[in-house]
Structure 1
């Protein structure tokens, strides 16, 4: 991540999800403590072929109208894939990697968006919603403007449930010492009316703020507070329950670690970035450190946690296929939609080209490559 990106993140006080609180109780009958600390300490080579039945690489179309930078988010919907990057592009591709259309346009007009804080898809109404810090801009899936709604500038990271309701996970903004509780999640109706808020169990009183994360699967939302170690669910009736205890142990960020002076310590710490729920596995993306996007997936099959590393190099934490780093980004129909590291493809092009022939034409100027794991 360059300095410009770091300044933008700090300016808008966005916050990734982390954990440190040692709560070991839950309200749900199915509450499970996930021994993340143990899984990290006992990481092992990923046996991708035994974990997934099929591996497919799909290079995205590279053309002047479809050029993309660093991909920040992917959403799968109705066989299409929506990607937005660090340059503010929001594009739609089909399952073969062909460019379909751009969503909206960057600008200051009423039908345009500026900085994209986040985006989500209202699957009930087939709308793409762009959160542009102070307003929500609705588009059809083919990119046509629908409407604009006002929002608060701190209502940034979001997802949308099956009824069109918007769920925001609000940033932990280093509250004053006198504050003991703050909003963690805000639920908003499709017309912008506030419906319900959920408060934190523990908040920070100092340090930097980064992104938080909220995920949904079949209408149920899942989130984790900035300083908590419990993953919560919110169902269609807006009832909150605890699902997992997320025990990062010595690998968890503490309050004092949210400071630039602790950068050296960051390389040994992890925080929860995203939850992707499939039928066979739940994938928890762990971010290593605070700056950058060094993502290491953690897989849970209901019995065992697996924190993988590259088969030929145990120092490389993460999911690798033929020495290519694979970063899970979305889940669709029990299939993980991942980004494949272009630099690794180019480095191993000769060996991977034998098995994955569609990677032969990938070069330094190519668009990102998707990898589908089923």
Structure 2
């Protein structure tokens, strides 16, 4: 597979430049030129946010969340043990798949993807070497074997109706970030984007991000300020986000590797004044949203009587119009919105056609200091107060939709 590496860009397209300044199909956003704006509030109130409390029962208790996907009237949540389907009101509908040794059961349950056109959920089973396809009602539709190159993946997403892109575990034996397979029979097509940093074990240390909405597909790359897209049988750069920091040199990465813990590499880049790359990306019908971190210093804490170092960074978002390529800069840090519900305080987990979506753990909601709620305008919304008052520590998470109609 052919993909481009940006070595030198002679022209740059700022956040408010017209489309004809795009260089060779690559748009360059300079965050310092972007106006600072909060696109999620109207008249300082969250009037259009939507809240969905996921039902809590013995049949659907959610553990450590791995992935959330929203499709039409369904919310699909995968934790470290199973995949569950809720409706748009948060009511539990059914499980997807069952672990067991029966002919219709999975031996393992890994990453999943949603095929909106085919109306099924594909769940990866590394032990059976198959992808199990289920309807949204949990009924098993078929089992399809996959090519041997698909082993040890962490995530998967359709790039289009013909191609499935998978994200590999970041370890020495798996040097590529992505692989592309045929969506119908999972036959191998090619690898893409070698990892700039690898882990010492197969548990993985870095997790790039993929996003898809309608005809657009984007992927990040570890310690990289470029966003790539799948187009016409190849991976090409589409956007570059210049955060004011230079790219982290490969030699500086190699000098400390292989790594057991990816944040070690991120912290190293930030402390030396380099960019740690684009962390995650999301797509709605009209807008793209990329998350990046800016270093703010270090601190220490004790763990098992041993002094550990912790790195502090500010989470930032670049949000841009997919057609006009005009962009804004948004950060939840340093605003009056100290509320847990403030957009981006809990990083977005997915996107719909017109909204970015967060998944807020119940134990964090239950831990909110009620005495401080009156000082935060966000809590003047009665819906949020009702959620706080009715949420217990062991409840399932709350899904929050943040509509994004204009920037």
| Pairing partner for 1:355 from 382, 385, 393 | 382
Matches within 5 A, 1:40-55: 48-50=40-42, 54-55=48-49
Match of 1:190 in 2: 184
**RMSD of Structure 2 on Structure 1 (CA):** 4.1
| Pairing partner for 2:110 from 93, 114, 117 | 117
Structure number with larger C-alpha Rg? 2
Q: Does 1:311 align with 2:335?
A: yes
Matches within 5 A, 1:1-374: 24=9, 29-35=24-30, 48-50=40-42, 54-86=48-80, 88-133=81-126, 134-151=129-146, 152-163=150-161, 165-174=163-172, 184-194=178-188, 196-200=189-193, 203-204=196-197, 209-235=205-231, 237-247=232-242, 250=245, 255-256=253-254, 259-260=259-260, 266-267=266-267, 268=270, 270-279=276-285, 281-286=287-292, 296=315, 298-301=317-320, 302-309=326-333, 311-312=335-336, 320-321=340-341, 325-346=345-366, 347-348=368-369, 351=374, 352=379, 355-356=382-383, 357-359=385-387, 360-374=389-403
Q: Is contact 2:225-2:278 (8 Å) kept?
A: no
Deviation per CA, 1:248-274, whole angstroms, max 9, x where unpaired?
A: 565866624662488667455745443
Deviation per CA, 1:47-69, whole angstroms, max 9, x where unpaired?
A: 74149761122111111111112
The answer for unaligned runs of 5 or more in structure 1 is: 1-19
Q: Is contact 1:59-1:358 (8 Å) kept?
A: no
Residue 90 to residue 288, structure 1, CA distance change in 2 (3 Å): farther
Q: Secondary structure at the match of 2:327?
A: coil
In 2: Cα distance, 1:273 partner to 1:117 partner: 22
Q: Secondary structure at the match of 1:311?
A: coil
Q: Size of the alignment, in residue pairs?
A: 339
Shift of 1:71: 1.9
Relative to structure 2, which stretch is displaced further, 273-282 or 69-78?
A: 273-282
Residue 76 to residue 262, structure 1, CA distance change in 2 (3 Å): closer
Relative to structure 2, which stretch is displaced further, 73-82 or 295-304?
A: 295-304
Q: Is contact 1:297-1:328 (8 Å) kept?
A: no
Q: Is contact 1:326-1:339 (8 Å) kept?
A: yes
TM-score, with normalisation over the residues of structure 1? 0.74
Deviation per CA, 1:128-177, whole angstroms, max 9, x where unpaired?
A: 0012334311111111112222333134421024526322233454479x
In 2: Cα distance, 1:239 partner to 1:265 partner: 29
In 2: Cα distance, 1:286 partner to 1:116 partner: 30
In 2: Cα distance, 1:28 partner to 1:354 partner: 45
Residue 203 to residue 354, structure 1, CA distance change in 2 (3 Å): closer
Deviation per CA, 1:115-139, whole angstroms, max 9, x where unpaired?
A: 4431101111111001233431111
In 1: Cα distance, 2:212 partner to 2:224 partner: 19
TM-score, with normalisation over the residues of structure 2? 0.68
Residue 118 to residue 262, structure 1, CA distance change in 2 (3 Å): closer
Q: Secondary structure at the match of 1:49?
A: coil
The answer for unaligned runs of 5 or more in structure 2 is: 12-21, 296-309, 321-325
Q: Is contact 2:219-2:229 (8 Å) kept?
A: yes
